[in-house]
Structure 1
Amino acid sequence: MSPLVIAGASRGVGLELARLARSGGRPVVALVRPGSDSSELRHLGVEVVAGDALSRADADRLFGSLPAGCDAVSTLSGLAGDGRRADDEGNINLVDAAAASGLTGRFLLITSIGCGEMAPYRSERAIAAFGAAVDAKTRAEEHLRGSGLAWTILRPGGLRTAPATGNGILSADPEMHGFINRADVAQLALRALRDPSTRDQAFAVVDRAEARSVNAIDPHPLLALGA
Structure 2
Amino acid sequence: MLNPVLVLGATRGVGLELAQQLRLRQIPVTALVRPGSQSDRLADIGVHQILGDATDPETLGVALRSAGAGVRVVSTLSGRLPDGEWVEDIAHRVLARIAQKADVKRIVLVTSIGCGEMAPYRSERAIVAFGAAVDAKTRGENAIRASGLPYTFIRPGGLISEPATGRGILSEDPQIHGMIHREDVATLICEVLSNPEAEGRAFAAVDQDQARSDNALVAACLSA
**Which range, TM-score by smaller chain?**
over 0.9
Identity of aligned residues (%): 52
- 8 Å contact 2:71–2:103 — kept in the other structure? no
Provide runs of 4+ in structure 1 moved above 6 Å. Answer: none
- 1:219 Cα offset (Å): 0.2
State the match for 2:15 in structure 1.
Answer: 14
State the match for 1:44 in structure 2.
Answer: 45
State the match for 2:152 in structure 1.
Answer: 152
Distance 1:100 1:70 in 2: 12
- 1:223 Cα offset (Å): 4.7
Distance 2:161 2:67 in 1: 31
- 8 Å contact 2:29–2:67 — kept in the other structure? no
- 8 Å contact 1:5–1:71 — kept in the other structure? yes
Distance 1:58 1:135 in 2: 26
Corresponding letter in the other structure for 1:142: N
Distance 1:149 1:182 in 2: 26
State the match for 2:197 in structure 1.
Answer: 197
Unaligned runs of 5+ in 2: none
Map 1:204-215 → 2, pairs under 5 A: 204-215=204-215
Q: Deviation digits for residues 68-98 of structure 1, max 9, x if unmatched?
A: 3111100000001111211100122123211
Q: Deviation digits for residues 157-210 of structure 1, max 9, x if unmatched?
A: 000011111111110000000000000000000101111111100011000001
Distance 2:32 2:68 in 1: 15
SS of 2:67's equivalent in the other structure is coil
Distance 2:25 2:61 in 1: 28
Unaligned runs of 5+ in 1: none
Distance 1:149 1:87 in 2: 17
State the match for 2:106 in structure 1.
Answer: 106
Distance 2:22 2:67 in 1: 17
- 8 Å contact 1:191–1:222 — kept in the other structure? no
State the match for 1:116 in structure 2.
Answer: 116
TM-score (norm 1): 0.95
Distance 2:222 2:161 in 1: 23
TM-score (norm 2): 0.96
- 8 Å contact 1:78–1:86 — kept in the other structure? yes
State the match for 2:78 in structure 1.
Answer: 77
Corresponding letter in the other structure for 1:196: P
- Number of residue pairs aligned between Structure 1 and Structure 2: 223
- 1:29 Cα offset (Å): 0.2
Distance 2:99 2:13 in 1: 23
- 8 Å contact 2:170–2:205 — kept in the other structure? yes
